[in-house]
Structure 1
Amino acid sequence: MFIRAYLRASTKEQDAKRAKSELIAFANDHGHKIAAFYVENESGAILVRPKLMQLIEDAHKGDVILVEQIDRLARLNQADWDTLKRMLSEKKLSIVSKELPTSYMALQPERSTEFMSSVLQAINAMMLDMLAAIARKDYEDRRNRQMQGIARAKAEGKYSGRRKDIEKRKIIASLLKSGHSYSEIQGMTKCSRHLIADVAKERPKMLSTH
């Protein structure tokens, strides 16, 4: 069994490797070792993340993706969550999360019966969908609170604006270089066409610093 651990944090200020030792211990407790780690600092609300996409590309049929929590894997809207599930399903990849005991069955070398296996798989799929929905709701609630805070700061004359998202701009630049259309990039990164156009003007400079 080949286990690939995925660790993610939203910002550079957060330590994406924080849970590495916990995942190693978790795998050991279930009689396994983690064969590969994929670590990145990207928003879970974006489907196309470099290390996540690399993990899926590297994975072989039947591999296991191990995460600390489902929100480390995704805080996606429903359409993107369905897309990610389809990408995983095409390679028959299983998601195992420390927070989801029903997912542990993927770490068992043998299943008791075909019927029980089917039942547990159905329950696990339902629980994954529920946790993914909760993660998205939490993300949207935090965004709403942030917008409310910005609105108050603007009203009080204390808002100084937001610095450019350098990492997102680099991703957009790379996608432009790969020949993706504006619409495709919008769908992948959840950004505005104005931002894509802005990055297109700066693309040579940005790619030279990637």
Structure 2
Amino acid sequence: MLVGYARTSTVEQEAGLEAQLRDLKAAGCERIFSEQRSSVTERPELDEALRFLREGDKLVVTKLDRLGRNVRSVAELADSLHSRKVGLCILQFGSETLDTTGSTGRLMLNVLAAIAQFEREIMLERQAEGIAKAKAENRYKGRKPTARAKADEVVALFRDGKRVSDIVKLTGVGRGSVYRALEAAGLHKPTSSPA
């Protein structure tokens, strides 16, 4: 069985998620798990997809970076799948599809994951250089605070009876930020741990 997994980092990336879902369906995925969460946070839908997979199945993603941001995390995931006799298929490598059910596919996965991590690190270095230059020129504004901008939406959803985990999924705001917004609105009291 082909099992798809689609992910975007934020809820604002709706078009990207829709494109992934379209491509996974076109690839023949019978079951698709999707979420809008950063790869550095918990990913419950990926965890659910991994639990769902059985021997002989293949996990299908559109791009390597949907699974993780570094070589180690992608390699650990691929090794875990391989040990369970589950394949990994990545659709978008130019016109080719990368399938890790063979040794060549696993080798290519490691090489491409290393290149992807290298590219990301280079991009982050350039970004840091740009931010430092902008700060030196007093032009740096910083990132718009997403959680604060969505505080009213968080409170409204909570008042409508939504659970915190649902609010996190719907808004893309982190769990801690949801609790802070609720606390600021007087709807949640912080728990104190005994000293």
Does 2:69 correspond to 1:70? no
CA-CA distance at 1:205 after TM superposition:
4.5
TM-score normalized with structure 2 length: 0.64
CA-CA distance at 1:48 after TM superposition:
4.1
CA-CA distance at 1:97 after TM superposition:
1.7
Equivalent residue, structure 2, for 1:89: 82
CA-CA distance at 1:63 after TM superposition:
1.6
Aligned ranges for residues 164-179 of structure 1 at < 5 Å? 164=145, 166=147
Larger helix percent:
1
CA-CA distance at 1:137 after TM superposition:
1.6
Quick one: percent identity of the two aligned structures?
29
Larger strand percent:
2
Contact persistence 2:63–2:90 (CA under 8 A): yes
SS of 1:4's equivalent in the other structure is strand
Can you give the 5+ residue segments of structure 1 that lack an aligned partner in the other structure? 28-32, 107-120, 167-172, 175-195
The amino acid that maps onto 2:19 is R
Separation in structure 2 between the aligned mates of residue 102 and residue 5 of structure 1, nearest angstrom: 14
Separation in structure 1 between the aligned mates of residue 97 and residue 45 of structure 2, nearest angstrom: 25
Alpha carbon RMSD of aligned pairs, Å?
A: 3.5
> CA 1:204/1:58 → structure 2, altered by over 3 Å: closer, same or farther?
farther
Deviations 1:89-142 (A, max 9, x none): 3432211122244518x5xxxxxxxxxxxxxx1111001111111221222122
SS of 2:18's equivalent in the other structure is coil
How many residues are aligned here? 158
Greater length-normalized contact order (CA 8 Å, ≥ 6 residues apart) = 1
Separation in structure 1 between the aligned mates of residue 90 and residue 53 of structure 2, nearest angstrom: 17
Does 2:145 correspond to 1:151? no
Aligned ranges for residues 10-89 of structure 1 at < 5 Å? 10-14=9-13, 15-25=16-26, 27=27, 33-44=28-39, 46=40, 48-78=42-72, 80-89=73-82
CA-CA distance at 1:65 after TM superposition:
0.7
> CA 1:147/1:95 → structure 2, altered by over 3 Å: closer, same or farther?
same
The amino acid that maps onto 1:151 is A
TM-score normalized with structure 1 length: 0.60
Separation in structure 2 between the aligned mates of residue 124 and residue 4 of structure 1, nearest angstrom: 18
Can you give the 5+ residue segments of structure 2 that lack an aligned partner in the other structure? 148-163, 166-174, 189-195
Contact persistence 1:17–1:39 (CA under 8 A): no
Separation in structure 2 between the aligned mates of residue 87 and residue 205 of structure 1, nearest angstrom: 40
SS of 1:57's equivalent in the other structure is helix
Separation in structure 1 between the aligned mates of residue 42 and residue 87 of structure 2, nearest angstrom: 19
Deviations 1:169-205 (A, max 9, x none): xxxx98xxxxxxxxxxxxxxxxxxxxx9x87x84974
CA-CA distance at 1:72 after TM superposition:
2.3
